[in-house]
Structure 1
Amino acid sequence: MGIHWYIISAVLVMLLQRFIFRRFVMRKVSYSRSFNVQSCFEGDSVEMVERLVNDKLIPVPWLRVESILHTGLKFQSDANFDVSSGQFLQNHRSLFSLTGKKQLTRRHSVHAAQRGCYRVTSASLTFGDLFGMFSAWRSVPLQVELLVYPQPVDRELLQLPSRSWQGDIAVRRWIAEDPFVISGVRAYRSGDSLKMINWNATARTGNLQVHRRDYTADYRLTVLLNVEDHAGMWDAVNDTSMIEHGIRLAAGILQYATEQGLETGFACNGHELDVPGKVMKVERGGGSEHLTYLYEQLAKLVIFRTLPFHTMLEQLEAEWDEPGDLVIISAFMSEGIQSMMARLRERGHAVDWLPIAERGAEAV
């Protein structure tokens, strides 16, 4: 009879633990995930941090966490972390086991191999009892985002167009009167505003005198990127690696121009990740914060043609009231693009074309 009681007792214990774990194992259990930075550049290494908290006395025998991410982030597998990678997506599986009132933190090394906006919106948690008599799962919402900026092309490899917006030449070209800086008086000329008259100097000399305004440099540069990889293409882009290089060229020019003190803008016939169907456009601005915003937009740029490039140029032409410097980054030159470049030049814009090439770009 003894062995029968052992068997019956063992079955009762197994059933009891099954009941307890099934009902209470996931109570007061929380899971979170984050990156140690909000943004980085292509080629950087970051950390993904997983935190699991069991805020009750009953242990968690085993818990498997699974989630999906793009393959642009490269993870290193270890004993408790496994990665199954496909062409575009990869599945992550983490295995945990916690005693009561325990918190566990794991850090995973991640290589940001490709530009993009990487988001994790949920994770699947599968759990069970000690003896594998039952298993269940639930979905946990997450709000995790990592922006990977494009790596700007090396300055030595970036053959910039020899235009006026480079360095001190820009000061001599985009020269304009600054209404807030007064350097003296001069004689009135036809066309001067009455608001400019210096009445004290006029009374003293007996002739109309106006304020002389000092001069300041006004720099304007807009980078225009074409996501079409060949003439006559439809919406889908075949050679995305070529366009990725074009994005790095754009990042390099925007970085260089901002460091030179220019106001920079950007437009592309692709679209932002969260705004499909609309071309990406960033108005001109200056300073490091504006450059960071440009990097963020480039990270979120989806390589999918929203409009033909020459059509986008035609729309932008109507919005530009003042002339400026324009740099077109495109893998090819078509009749439509050439026609729009001619129209823009007639309106006073300085237009350059940088063809996308594997080892850099040469100005034309």
Structure 2
Amino acid sequence: MIIDLSLQMTQEGNKMLLIWIPVSVLAMYFVLNMVYGKLWKNGLRAELRFEERDVEEGDVATLVETVTNDKLLPLPVIKLSFKMDRSLVIDEDRNATVSDKTNVMEFFGLSGHEEVTRRQPVRAAKRGYYLISEAGIALPDFFTEGVRYLGTSQAASLLVCPRMLDDDVTLDISRQIVGEIVSRNRLYQDVFSFRGIREYTNGDPLSAINWKASARTGDYMVNIRDYTCGQHIRFLLDLEPPSIRYSEERLEQGIRLAYTLAGRCIQAQIPVSLASNGRDVITGREVATSSGSSERHLGAIGEALARVSLSAKPRPFSDLIREERMTLEAGAAIPGTDAGQNIALCLISSGQTDALLAEADALARFCAGQGGG
């Protein structure tokens, strides 16, 4: 009887190999489990930020996502997750669920000492102030016993300013307002506005004489100046809900109208200011701006309107009107203006309560008696 010892040894070796393979895999798993469980979050950071500080309704902003693995241990798969307001519309093909907030999930694979940056387009569908205050990084349970989670604080903020209106009705309103302020038959001449030349008449000041034109014609000629009333416009914006059941879009349209009219006036170099019973989402105070006529001032108005919260309950608009009237009656200065300066008031409201109409009428009668608008 011949026994093949080599074959028997090979079979024994195969059996041992079959035993050691799963044992080795299991041992490696426990080692990886221990290593990743203790070290996975070391040097791991995530940062979210918007490239733009502010945009206008309908514009596209860029959200920058940066994940850094500042250690030798690689992270083949991690999940970055954060919540973003659904008014900031992300790519529909991305991994996200939508409720009041959009739950966004991004997957990254990082080698040792690697940083990965992604830029995602985000469409600003609605006016407002948006903040991403936290994000989470999760390591799948393939590497550890259960999912490991690392929370990170964020400060990614974006201001979405109201868009400008360009419909015919708004354009007509803005032309009417500007036309009331800059006119040819008001009290004060604008020394910087030249309209033409005429012959000198008794009573014309010497400072009005155009000496070059007088030398050419042989007669005294004086400059004709355009007229301005020296006023600035103050917009009073009502954000009090007009009824129990109302469309929020009506209030949003009022915000857009105030921003548009302010922009048209500033284009005409007319100083404007704004006051509203709407409250700032950050400070909780009522929105108000000083007077100005620069592009920077228009930006400040846009920022103030972007931060208005329609969920914060405003005080009655009639109270704000009464407060403005009492300030004018006392001869006190409106913020950003000089006491006694001519002020044209423009009320923007969708409300029709008796108290509001009564205060608006009282304000109109006072302004008419003062020769204002």
CA RMSD of aligned residues (A): 2.7
Aligned to 2:75: 60
Aligned to 1:29: 44
The 3 A distance-change label for structure 1 pair 141 and 161 is closer
Aligned to 2:350: 331
2:361 is aligned, of 338, 342, 354, to 342
The 3 A distance-change label for structure 1 pair 67 and 44 is same
Cα distance in structure 2, aligned partners of 1:162 and 1:6: 85
Asked if 1:136 is matched to 2:148, the reply is: yes
1:331-355 CA distances to partner (integer Å, 9 max, x unpaired)? 1333322222232233326888xxx
The 3 A distance-change label for structure 1 pair 98 and 351 is farther
Asked if 1:4 is matched to 2:16, the reply is: no
1:224 is aligned, of 236, 242, 245, to 236
1:290-342 CA distances to partner (integer Å, 9 max, x unpaired)? 11000001100111432111111111222333441111111133332222223
Cα distance in structure 1, aligned partners of 2:38 and 2:372: 69
Aligned to 2:85: 70
1:157-214 CA distances to partner (integer Å, 9 max, x unpaired)? 4031675643773575463799xxxx768xxxxxxxxxxxxxxxxxxxxxxxxxxxxx
Aligned to 2:97: 84
Q: What is the deviation of 1:267?
A: 1.3
- Extract unaligned runs of 5+ from structure 2: 1-15, 192-204, 208-226, 332-339
Q: What is the deviation of 1:61?
A: 2.5
Aligned to 1:147: 159
Q: State how 1:195-344 maps to structure 2 within 5 Å.
A: 218-230=230-242, 238-276=246-284, 278-303=285-310, 304-320=312-328, 321=331, 322=340, 323-344=342-363
Q: What is the deviation of 1:129?
A: 6.0
The 3 A distance-change label for structure 1 pair 9 and 164 is closer
Deviates more, 1:127-136 or 1:18-27: 127-136
Q: What is the deviation of 1:274?
A: 1.4
The 3 A distance-change label for structure 1 pair 43 and 298 is same
The 3 A distance-change label for structure 1 pair 134 and 344 is same
Cα distance in structure 1, aligned partners of 2:275 and 2:116: 45
Aligned to 1:160: 173
Q: What is the deviation of 1:131?
A: 4.3
Cα distance in structure 2, aligned partners of 1:174 and 1:117: 43
The amino acid across from 2:366 in the alignment is R
Q: What is the deviation of 1:134?
A: 3.5
SS in 2 for 1:274: coil
Aligned to 1:41: 56
1:69-88 CA distances to partner (integer Å, 9 max, x unpaired)? 2111100044xx412111x3
Cα distance in structure 1, aligned partners of 2:147 and 2:280: 41
- Extract unaligned runs of 5+ from structure 1: 186-214, 353-364
The 3 A distance-change label for structure 1 pair 305 and 327 is farther
> TM-score, structure 1 length as denominator?
0.78
Cα distance in structure 2, aligned partners of 1:95 and 1:239: 39
1:125 is aligned, of 126, 130, 137, to 137
Q: What is the deviation of 1:52?
A: 0.9
**Higher strand fraction: Structure 1 or Structure 2?**
1
Is contact 2:56–2:160 with CA below 8 Å preserved after alignment? yes
Cα distance in structure 1, aligned partners of 2:249 and 2:278: 15
Give structure 1 regions of 4+ aligned residues with deviation exceeding 4 angstroms. 129-132, 161-164, 349-352
Deviates more, 1:53-62 or 1:286-295: 53-62
The amino acid across from 1:306 in the alignment is P
Aligned residues between the structures: 313
1:114 is aligned, of 95, 101, 126, to 126
> TM-score, structure 2 length as denominator?
0.76
The amino acid across from 2:239 in the alignment is V
Is contact 2:141–2:148 with CA below 8 Å preserved after alignment? no
- Of structures 1 and 2, the larger Rg is shown by 2
Aligned to 2:112: 100
**Higher helix fraction: Structure 1 or Structure 2?**
2
The 3 A distance-change label for structure 1 pair 25 and 161 is closer
The 3 A distance-change label for structure 1 pair 335 and 175 is farther
Q: What is the deviation of 1:27?
A: 1.0
Is contact 1:69–1:90 with CA below 8 Å preserved after alignment? yes
The amino acid across from 2:348 in the alignment is I
Cα distance in structure 2, aligned partners of 1:146 and 1:162: 32
